Amino acid sequence: MIVRRSPAELEKLRRSGLLVYEILHKLKDMVAEGVTTQDLEAAAVKMIADAGAKPAFKGYASHASKTKYPYVLCTSVNEEVVHGMPSAKRKLKPGDIISIDTGVQLNGYYGDSAVTVAVGEVNDSVKRLLKVTEESLELAIDKVHAGNRLFDVCGTVEKYIVSNGFSIVREFVGHGIGTSLHEEPQIPNYIDRNSENPRLKPGMVLAIEPMVNAGKPDTEVLSDKWTAVAKDGSYSAHFEHMVAVTDNGPWVLSRP
């Protein structure tokens, strides 16, 4: 069942979304050569606690992994697509890219967002991967209008990514969000004819998150049961925003 949120609930989701934005904004500024992914984790732990919020990811139990996720951040570097685990051994170096994904629970409502950041200078093909992935998210957000259907959002990402020569990860998808981190509907970044195609209605909140590989779309999960990587070792980019359907068009809850 897809839950539609009241204006008061949307305001609460907005506060959660803005907290995640603030955390990601500060973490982006920390990304530099020599910084470890554990350094980012420690900073995020403090920011979440200082805000009086709870981490959404830490302790999250996945049906697939059958283990609880132990960190507040997912830090996915280079070929890591999603769910990369922070580590004091993982030092960032020039030419890397890192997807930083985090979520919070504030006053019972969840926020969730992700951004991919380059470490120092990266080559033009990597810059283009990041640019196209982020642009696909913006184009998808533009489709979040009451009366449109979910496939308008999904198909927009698919068309733009494929037309630019990149591939869409199919095993991981976006989701509804509210008083749970993951709610209906599932939001693939492609048109999945086997899934539901509901009409968008005011009060629905969508966490849209293109996950895009420079090479082939195939992924595998490592022995830690969480980290998903591109099978061919190609770089992968990931951006996410939570977007409310309103009578006045899309409202991005996870940025000012």
How far is residue 98's CA from residue 144's CA, in Å, rounded to a whole number?
Answer: 27
State pLDDT tens for residues 82-141.
Answer: 999 999 999 999 999 999 999 999 999 999 999 999 999 999 999 999 999 999 999 999
Query: In the predicted model, is pLDDT for residue 186 greater than 80?
Result: yes
Contact 144, 245 (CB under 8 A): yes
Share the mean pLDDT of the chain: 97
Domain residue extents for the chain: 7-252
Q: What is the model's pLDDT at position 40?
A: 98
pLDDT at 66: 80
Task: Kindly report, residue by residue over 129-172, the tens digit of the pLDDT.
Answer: 999 999 999 999 999 999 999 999 999 999 999 999 999 999 99
- The answer to whether 255 and 115 are in contact (CB under 8 A) is no
Q: What is the pLDDT of residues 3-62, one digit of tens each?
A: 999 999 999 999 999 999 999 999 999 999 999 999 999 999 999 999 999 999 999 987
> Residue 94 has what pLDDT?
97
pLDDT of residue 234: 98
Are the beta carbons of 216 and 230 closer than 8 angstroms?
Answer: yes
Tokens of 154: 């999904």
Residues 236-250 have a mean pLDDT of 98
Residues 6+ apart with CB under 8 A from 24: 100, 102, 113, 114, 115
Residue 63 clears pLDDT 80, i.e. is over it: no
Residue 197: pLDDT above 80? yes
Largest CA distance in the chain: 49
Reported as a pLDDT band with limits 50, 70 and 90, residue 244 is very high
Contact status, residue 211 vs residue 115, Cβ threshold 8 Å: no
pLDDT above 70: percentage of residues in the chain: 100
What pLDDT, on the 0 to 100 scale, is given for residue 129? 98
Residue 155: the pLDDT is 98
Architecture of the CATH domain 7-252: Alpha-Beta Complex (3.90)
Q: Which two tokens stand for residue 81?
A: 């697509």
pTM: 0.97
